[in-house]
Amino acid sequence: MSGLSVNADKCVGCGICVRTCASEGIEVAGRKAHVTDSCISCGMCVDACPVGALSIEKDAGAGADLSAYHDLWVFCEVDDGALAPVALELMAKGRELADARGCRLMGVMGQADATDADANAQALLSSGADGVIRCVDGRLRTNDAELFARWVCDLAETRRPETILYGATDFGRELAPQVAVRLGTGLTADCTVLEMDVEQGLLQQTRPAFGGNLMATIVCPTHRPQMATVRPGVFQANPDAAEKTAACGGATDVSPHGAVEDVALEAGLEPSLRVLGREDATGGDSITSADVLVVVGRGIGSKKNLPLMRELAELLGGRLGCTRPLVEAGWCDYSCQVGQTGVSVAPKLLVSVGVSGAIQHLAGIGGAERVIAVNEDPAAPIFGVADHAVVGDAVEVVGALVERLRARV
């Protein structure tokens, strides 16, 4: 692995590195600098050290023949026999990136039951995949990330994909790091923007950093595959493909243009997980699947105004979401929190009420098709992403809206 190292002969213990470090990755003890577990090898201290005592060691994998790697893979999660929506969202983005790079887009999927396995593969082909690599095996029933990681790594080692994308679902967050460690490559979690540097084949992976106060673009220049996770709702699925798939119920006559290849899981591997029971932590449907969302922020003033906001959501046939301070205040459940540390949403209509539009919140609403924002401050950042701006008091505006909508019911 690469890492920061200290040349003790040169180090004078001046502490400039400690003051430069933003992650508490280095400390001075006994007049010498020591690297801590928090070091992220960003190299800032290396540049700052006045006596050249610090360096970043590159690992042996660096400098491998990157030209041997090709194709972009999307790992497509299957839940209870159905493709996770994020799989189709990533296929749409993957198609765009693969076209820019001039490479093939492959859907990679594993599921326990043969039922729906063909329909799922066809859905990926009709979403733009040039081919599907699939494993149908009863041992995958428990969604054991370790088993999946073994299968994906075996595939990646022989076929050498240049890029792999994963959904940042609970399962994807477990799987992708395991694959990254086994393959000795990098992983950027929770990307909100993905672009391809066509010349170098470098995936530009952008995500919020330093508490969401800036956006960092991360690349993986010396290892392959380059890997990223993306939360559900950040990208949009190709509506044509989704319609085609829905129209034929996922049947196999959807203008297939690629092959489906079955690749077995290694014999002798057994799941280490046993599922004893399932409990839905959200207590129902997630707000991520709602077509209409009313998202409320601190500007609604008081918890007693929540029922009015919920009524607006219901009259519009939608659900209620919120900003983080409302969760912290105990007004709303965490499952309703929209943003960087909550969920990403992609409704057709999002009505934002009394929300300032902090960058950490905006990170979760980029997929919304149309945004109407209500805020009493005309300079509120939320208006920068809104299609329609209503400057006014949250309760007054929503009260008037609810009255009108009630009259129409």
Ligand X SMILES: Cc1cc2nc3c(=O)[nH]c(=O)nc-3n(C[C@H](O)[C@H](O)[C@H](O)COP(=O)(O)OP(=O)(O)OC[C@H]3O[C@@H](n4cnc5c(N)ncnc54)[C@H](O)[C@@H]3O)c2cc1C
Binding region for ligand X (CB under 6 A)? 211-212, 297-299, 301, 323-325, 337-342, 354-356, 358, 360-361, 364, 375-377, 380, 393-394
Query: 287 or 358, CB closer to ligand X?
Result: 358
- Rounded to a whole number of angstroms, the minimum distance from the CB of residue 378 to ligand X is 9
Q: What are phi and psi of 95, to 5 degrees?
A: -60, -45
∠ Cα 223 227 231 (to 5°): 160
CA-closest candidate to residue 261, choices 164, 162, 125: 125
Query: 55 or 356, CB closer to ligand X?
Result: 356
Q: State how far the Cα of 126 lies from the Cα of 77, in Å rounded to an integer.
A: 17
Q: Give the 3-state secondary structure of residue 317.
A: coil
- Rounded to a whole number of angstroms, the minimum distance from the CB of residue 298 to ligand X is 4
Query: 41 or 360, CB closer to ligand X?
Result: 360
Query: 150 or 298, CB closer to ligand X?
Result: 298
At 314, list the tokens: 């219901």
Query: 185 or 323, CB closer to ligand X?
Result: 323
Query: 69 or 383, CB closer to ligand X?
Result: 383
Query: 287 or 380, CB closer to ligand X?
Result: 380
Query: 233 or 299, CB closer to ligand X?
Result: 299
- Rounded to a whole number of angstroms, the minimum distance from the CB of residue 52 to ligand X is 35
- Rounded to a whole number of angstroms, the minimum distance from the CB of residue 190 to ligand X is 11
- Rounded to a whole number of angstroms, the minimum distance from the CB of residue 211 to ligand X is 4
At 74, list the tokens: 């999307």
- Rounded to a whole number of angstroms, the minimum distance from the CB of residue 405 to ligand X is 19
Q: State how far the Cα of 383 lies from the Cα of 169, in Å rounded to an integer.
A: 30
Given strand 202-209, what is the order of strands in its sheet? 193-197, 202-209, 214-218
15 dihedral zone (left: phi>0; alpha: psi -120 to 50; beta) = left
- Rounded to a whole number of angstroms, the minimum distance from the CB of residue 379 to ligand X is 8
Q: State how far the Cα of 290 lies from the Cα of 348, in Å rounded to an integer.
A: 8
Query: 152 or 293, CB closer to ligand X?
Result: 293
The string of DSSP letters for 206-267 reads EEEETTTTEEEEE---SSSSEEEEE-TTSS---HHHHHHHHHTTT-TTS---SEEEE-PPPT
Sole residue written with tokens 């610090």: 54
**Adjacent-strand bridge partners of 105:** 72
DSSP 8-state code for residue 199 = T
- Rounded to a whole number of angstroms, the minimum distance from the CB of residue 276 to ligand X is 31
Query: 16 or 402, CB closer to ligand X?
Result: 402
- Rounded to a whole number of angstroms, the minimum distance from the CB of residue 288 to ligand X is 13
Q: Which residues contact 303 (CB under 8 A, 6 or more apart)?
A: 329, 331
- Rounded to a whole number of angstroms, the minimum distance from the CB of residue 159 to ligand X is 37
Query: 46 or 402, CB closer to ligand X?
Result: 402
| 225 upstream amide cis, omega within 30 of 0 | yes
Q: Quick one: how many helices (H) and strands (E) in the chain?
A: 11, 21
- Rounded to a whole number of angstroms, the minimum distance from the CB of residue 395 to ligand X is 7
Sign of CA dihedral 301, 304, 305, 310: positive
- What is the separation, in whole angstroms, between the first and last Cα of the chain? 63
